[in-house]
Amino acid sequence: MRGGMRHGAGRPAQHGKVDHHRQIDIRRWARESMIKDGGYFGWQWQQDGKQVASIGVRVNSADMLTLIYRLERDEVWREESIPIRLAKTACHYGGERPWFICPHCGRQAAILYLASGKWFCRESLKLTYASQSEDYLDRLNRKKSKLEAKLQGSRKPKGMHQISYERLKQQWINAEMTWDNEFAIRAMQLFGSL
């Protein structure tokens, strides 16, 4: 039996997580109109409001761009550049959706991840999302947090129908009771009271 409600359910954390890698998202660049033939722009990552890394992006053509970045290896900084092919697919209601072509496997990907100084798609690195390793209590916590965000405290949010508010409130109460019960069961199992 995999997953479900049993103790310790959830996939074991045997793969790297997407959150642990720097990533570039072509959808975001397209939304911000950064991908223009012959253009150049910089991209940076921030942590706690401070820049921790950056790259330059040269758009060579409609189907190719070059990532320019610096890496430190063995206490020596080297400038790297890697060409990345692009593809586009037609959207149902017009327009086009851009994709990176993974330099390692050739798959289309919206996001590329930096690992060992090279760029990969999620499949090539076998990365997983943090939620894929969550157990039942973690999933219940995430569900409660989502409901709490929708409820916005103890009063009905402005513009929300009373019926919707009551339904969400009941869902939150049910999730809270389920979490409490599951936690009590696990505590008893852990301390040998069952």
pLDDT digits (tens, 9 = 90+) for 105-152: 999 999 998 888 889 998 888 877 766 666 777 788 888 888 888 888
Query: Is the CA virtual torsion 124, 130, 135, 139 positive or negative?
Result: negative
Q: Is the pTM of this model over 0.95?
A: no
In this predicted model, what pLDDT tens digit does every residue of 1-47 receive, in sequence order?
Answer: 344 445 555 555 456 776 778 889 999 999 999 988 889 998 888 87
Contact 43, 54 (CB under 8 A): yes
* DSSP class per residue in 105-170: T--EESEEEEETTEEE-HHHHT-B-GGGG--HHHHHHHHHHHHHHHHTSSSPPTT--HHHHHHHHH
72, exposed or middle or buried, with CB in 10 Å at 0-12, 13-18, 19+? exposed
Closest to 132 measured CA to CA, from 1, 6, 16, 29: 16
